[in-house]
């Protein structure tokens, strides 16, 4: 007789005698050794003894306990270390009963770069390695672009690259449309430009009243001196500044810096709205839809969200919350440690701060309603897709593949992913074609390389197919030949149970007349007005857009490469100086020693290195 594995309270009870009151992290596993839940504890023995009780649990916790057949433990020195380890393991293992933040993209900032005597105003995303003043985060690239657009009208700071700046001999269009002071051609001196930079920084720090007052005084003085053209220009700048302030909407007087985080939970689905308040200005908001761990409550969802959201972002001085969290002291300590200064969490009950939270909560509720409606529509389309192609069930993960190249050059393969939540852009991948298939414009060969790399990696990382990274439907751009080729590739890898459909342009290559190919099935088509057909067209068009975008980016990168990149000792600054002086890499290759030494930053020794490099090439 087969012995049934012990589960639930009894197996958890058995671990109590081996535990003490140390802080740490525990994992609960099911019969398949899958991690069901990762938790932290100030006192491991006390926390685990709660799970050993036969009653008094929520439905979610009771289900989790009933599935548990074993546990793993790891003690830590402090509770903060336990919280940090817990969140790292959740992100890595994605257990079913844990709250998980699925969208973890970085946020853009505005940077006033200090790498050049005339600072550049630009958008920046990622690590703050460049010297300059950073302002942000902004909720989206769109929010940054709108603000940059207005700031250029007000402060006339350049947005061109350093190389472009060095090569200008006359002002560009930005100067003509009054969005740049044209320091590149001496239309403004260093002191005057520094004043514009200082004003821009004051504005981004929230000192808008001072900036506006200064501009108004300058306009009055210009008018009195009968410098009417200058007065009109200053008037336009004041008007643009007012438009910036109006566009920002919420501008709290008593909250100089905060993130406002509000949660709305409904029918097991959650939306978290984050509003960024910096320098008494609203810099936009972003909504998130964390996985709720099969039914976690508001306090647990918000606590997990805070720990995961600020994993790679600097927390502000104040975080305003819609709900309290259980381990506020622990989360505060963790965030303060990450910020290198004190961070305060608050759940305001009245006043301006409470109004900010209420506004964020209303947005969270409305966003979740829209999301749930969109999900319902998406689920109907997935069900329709399953019916159209005789799938066993609606697909949860669809992968769509496309290739892009121009006569074999800079070939790139693209993969996009879609599911019940729409396009999963964080899962998109691009593949630079390494084989000769790209050079030979061999679409079959390119597809073979992409599919081989994709599924060899999947088999290596998750051979048991326990994660949600495995697709249950592949859409291939092509007809019977492509489908047959892909099926052969997957069969070689031992993956022959994933549904696959080839999408080919039909008669006259007309959208709406697509033909669909499956292994061992006759070619088929869908009615022209079928919503499933429109859905497939959107998927195909998105894959095409993604592959073409990757191809353009690769081509642009190749175009910007010059022989100067291979010369020892010639970095970005010297490269810019050489190109600005000679106009092209070819002209540099023909230059003599004396000509090279005339370039700023090129010493006699460096000139000899450059000259020798091209001499050996020629």
181: its two tokens: 């002071």
Angle at CA 125, nearest 5°, toward 278 and 139? Answer: 40
Q: Which residues contact 188 (CB under 8 A, 6 or more apart)?
A: 156, 181, 182, 196
CATH, residue 611: 1.10.150.20
Q: Give yes or no: residues 32 and 129 share one domain.
A: no
Alpha-carbon torsion angle 598, 600, 605, 607, nearest 10: -50
Contact 413, 430 (CB under 8 A): yes
| pLDDT over 80 (residue 618) | no
Mean pLDDT, to the nearest integer, of 154-158?
Answer: 87
Q: What does the pLDDT average to over 427-455?
A: 84
Beta carbons of 150 and 247 less than 8 angstroms apart: yes
If DSSP codes are grouped into helix, strand and coil, which group holds residue 401?
strand
Peptide bond into 573 cis (omega under 30): no
Among 74, 97, 120, the domain-final residue is 97
Q: What does the DSSP 8-state code read for residue 158? A: -
Average of per-residue pLDDT across 464-471: 86
Tell me whether residue 306 is in a domain. Answer: no
Same domain, residue pair 529 and 573? no
Flag whether 532 is in a domain. Answer: yes
Residue that the structure tokens 């548990």 belong to: 68
pLDDT of residue 507: 62
Instruction: Give 276-287 as a DSSP string.
Output: EEETTEEEEEEE
Residue with tokens 């709900």: 323
494: alpha, beta or left? (left if phi > 0; alpha if psi -120 to 50):
left
Examine the domain organization and report whether 114 and 237 are in the same domain.
yes
- With a pLDDT cut of 70, the percent of the chain lying above it is 91
Strands 121-124 and 109-113: antiparallel
At 143 the three-state DSSP class reads: helix
Q: What is the DSSP letter of 6?
A: P
What is the average pLDDT across 169-178?
88
pLDDT the model gives residue 235: 78
Residues 276 and 238 in one domain: no
Cβ neighbours of 153 (radius 10 Å): 18
Q: Could you tell me which of 304, 422, 309, 306 has the C-alpha nearest to residue 370? A: 422
Bridge partner list, 449: none
User: Are 145 and 225 in a shared domain?
Assistant: yes
Torsion (CA) 558, 560, 561, 567 in degrees, nearest 10? -170
- Which two three-digit tokens encode residue 600? 């700023």
- Residue 237: CB partners within 8 Å, gap ≥ 6? 153, 154, 155, 156, 215
Rounded to an integer, what distance in angstroms lies between the CA atom of residue 481 and that of residue 489?
Answer: 12
Domain boundary among 75, 97, 119: 97
pLDDT, greater one: 229 or 470: 470
Question: How many CB atoms are located within 10 Å of the residue 612 CB?
Answer: 11
Domain's final residue, options 247, 271, 286: 247
Q: What is the pLDDT of residue 581?
A: 79
Could you read off the pLDDT of 112-152 as tens digits, one per residue? 998 889 999 999 988 888 899 998 888 888 888 888 887 88
Check residue 464 and give its pLDDT. 84
Percent of the chain exceeding pLDDT 90 equals 45
Tell me: the pLDDT tens digits for 35-73?
Answer: 999 999 999 999 999 999 888 888 899 999 999 999 999
Task: Give CA–CA dist 73/462, Å, rounded.
Answer: 24
Which whole number is the average pLDDT over 454-460?
A: 93
Which tens digits make up the pLDDT trace of 485-529? 899 999 999 998 899 999 987 665 556 678 999 998 999 999 888
At residue 139, φ and ψ (nearest 5 deg) are -70, -30
The distance between the two most distant Cα atoms of the chain, rounded to a whole number of Å, is 104
Query: Does residue 569 sit in the same domain as residue 551?
Result: no
Q: Are both 439 and 550 inside the same structural domain?
A: yes
Question: What is d(CA 249, CA 32) in angstroms, rounded to the nearest whole number?
Answer: 52
**What pLDDT digit, counting tens, does each position of 79-99 carry?**
999 999 999 999 889 999 999
Distance CA 193, CA 100 (A): 47
Summarize the confidence of residues 173-184 as an average pLDDT: 89
Does position 405 have pLDDT exceeding 70, yes or no?
no
Same domain, 405 and 553: yes
Neighbours of 472 (CB within 10 A): 18
SS3 at position 39: strand
Given a cut of 90, is residue 350 above it in pLDDT?
yes
Residue 135 lies in a domain: yes
Collect all residues with Cβ–Cβ distance below 8 Å to 212 and sequence separation of at least 6: 238, 241, 242
H/E stretch holding 98 reads: none
351 and 406 part of one domain: no
Q: How many other C-beta atoms lie within 10 A of the C-beta of residue 559? A: 9
DSSP summary character for residue 323: S
Angle of CA points 545, 142, 238, to nearest 5°: 145
Q: Do residues 87 and 38 make contact, with C-beta atoms less than 8 angstroms apart?
A: no
Is residue 177 domain-shared with residue 141, that is, in the same domain? Answer: yes
Would you say residue 388 lies in a domain?
A: no
pTM score, two decimals? 0.73
Predicted confidence (pLDDT) per residue in 414-423, tens digit: 999 999 888 9
Kindly provide the b/e burial profile for residues 308-322, where b requires at least 16 CB atoms within 10 angstroms of the residue's own CB.
Answer: bbbeeeebbebbbbb
For the chain, what is the domain count? 5
Could you list the residue range(s) of the whole structural domain that residue 83 is in? 9-97
In terms of C-beta density within 10 A (0-12 exposed, 13-18 middle, 19 or more buried), how is residue 586 classed? exposed
- Axis crossing angle, helix 79-93 with helix 298-309, rounded to the nearest 10: 90
pLDDT (0 to 100) of residue 209: 65
- 443 and 460, same domain (yes or no): yes
CATH number of the CATH domain containing 57: 3.40.1440.10
The chain-wide mean pLDDT, for the chain, equals 86
408 and 466 together in one domain: yes
pLDDT range class, residue 227, cuts 50, 70, 90? confident
């Amino acid at each position: 007789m087969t012995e049934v594995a012990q589960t639930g309270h009894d197996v958890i009870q058995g671990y109590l005698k081996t535990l003490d009151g140390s802080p740490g992290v525990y994992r609960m596993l099911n019969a398949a050794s899958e991690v069901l839940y990762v938790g932290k504890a100030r006192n491991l023995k006390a926390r685990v003894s709660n799970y050993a009780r036969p009653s008094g649990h929520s439905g979610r916790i009771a289900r989790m306990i009933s599935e548990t057949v074993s546990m793993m433990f790891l003690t830590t020195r402090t509770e903060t270390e336990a919280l940090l380890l817990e969140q790292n393991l959740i992100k890595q293992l994605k257990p079913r009963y844990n709250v998980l933040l699925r969208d973890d993209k970085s946020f853009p900032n505005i940077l006033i770069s200090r790498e050049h005597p005339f600072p550049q105003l630009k958008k920046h995303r990622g690590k703050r390695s460049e010297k300059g003043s950073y302002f942000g985060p902004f909720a989206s690239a769109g929010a940054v672009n709108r603000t940059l657009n207005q700031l250029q009208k007000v402060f006339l700071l350049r947005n061109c690259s350093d190389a472009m700046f060095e090569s200008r001999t006359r002002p560009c269009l930005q100067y003509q449309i009054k969005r740049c002071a044209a320091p590149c051609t001496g239309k403004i001196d260093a002191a005057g430009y520094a004043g514009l930079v200082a004003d821009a920084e004051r504005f981004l720090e929230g000192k808008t009243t001072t900036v506006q007052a200064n501009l108004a005084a300058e306009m009055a003085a210009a008018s009195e001196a009968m410098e009417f053209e200058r007065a009109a220009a200053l008037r336009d700048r004041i008007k643009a500044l007012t438009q910036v302030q109006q566009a920002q909407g919420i501008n709290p007087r008593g909250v100089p810096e905060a993130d406002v985080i509000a949660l709305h939970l409904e029918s097991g689905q959650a939306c978290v709205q984050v509003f960024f308040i910096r320098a008494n200005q609203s810099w936009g908001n972003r909504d998130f839809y964390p996985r709720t761990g099969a039914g976690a409550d508001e306090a647990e969802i918000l606590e997990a969200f805070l720990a995961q959201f600020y994993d790679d972002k600097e927390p502000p001085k104040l975080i305003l919350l819609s709900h309290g969290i259980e381990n506020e002291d622990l989360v505060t300590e963790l965030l303060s440690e990450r910020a290198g200064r004190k961070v305060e969490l608050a759940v305001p009950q009245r006043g301006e701060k409470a109004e900010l939270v209420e506004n964020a909560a209303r947005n969270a509720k409305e966003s979740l309603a829209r999301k749930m409606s969109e999900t319902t529509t998406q689920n109907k389309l997935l069900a329709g897709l399953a019916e159209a192609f005789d799938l066993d069930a609606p697909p949860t993960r669809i992968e769509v593949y496309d290739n892009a190249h121009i006569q074999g050059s800079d070939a790139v393969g693209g993969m996009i992913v879609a599911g019940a939540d729409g396009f999963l852009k964080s899962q998109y991948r691009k593949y630079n074609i390494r084989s000769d298939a790209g050079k030979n414009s061999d679409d079959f060969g390119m597809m073979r390389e992409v599919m081989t790399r994709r599924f060899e990696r999947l088999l290596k990382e998750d051979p048991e197919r326990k994660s949600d990274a495995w697709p249950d439907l592949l859409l291939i751009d092509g007809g019977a030949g492509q489908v047959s080729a892909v099926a052969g590739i997957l069969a070689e890898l031992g993956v022959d149970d994933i549904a696959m459909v080839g999408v080919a342009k039909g008669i006259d290559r007309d959208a709406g007349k697509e033909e669909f190919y499956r292994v061992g099935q006759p070619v088929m088509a869908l009615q022209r007005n079928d919503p499933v057909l429109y859905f497939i067209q959107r998927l195909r068009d998105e894959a095409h857009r993604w592959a073409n975008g990757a191809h353009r980016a690769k081509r642009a990168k190749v175009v910007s490469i010059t022989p100067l990149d291979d010369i020892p000792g010639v970095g970005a600054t010297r490269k810019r100086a050489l190109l600005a002086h000679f106009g092209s890499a070819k002209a540099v290759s023909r230059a003599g020693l004396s000509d090279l030494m005339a370039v700023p930053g090129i010493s006699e020794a460096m000139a000899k290195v450059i000259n020798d490099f091209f001499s050996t090439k020629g």
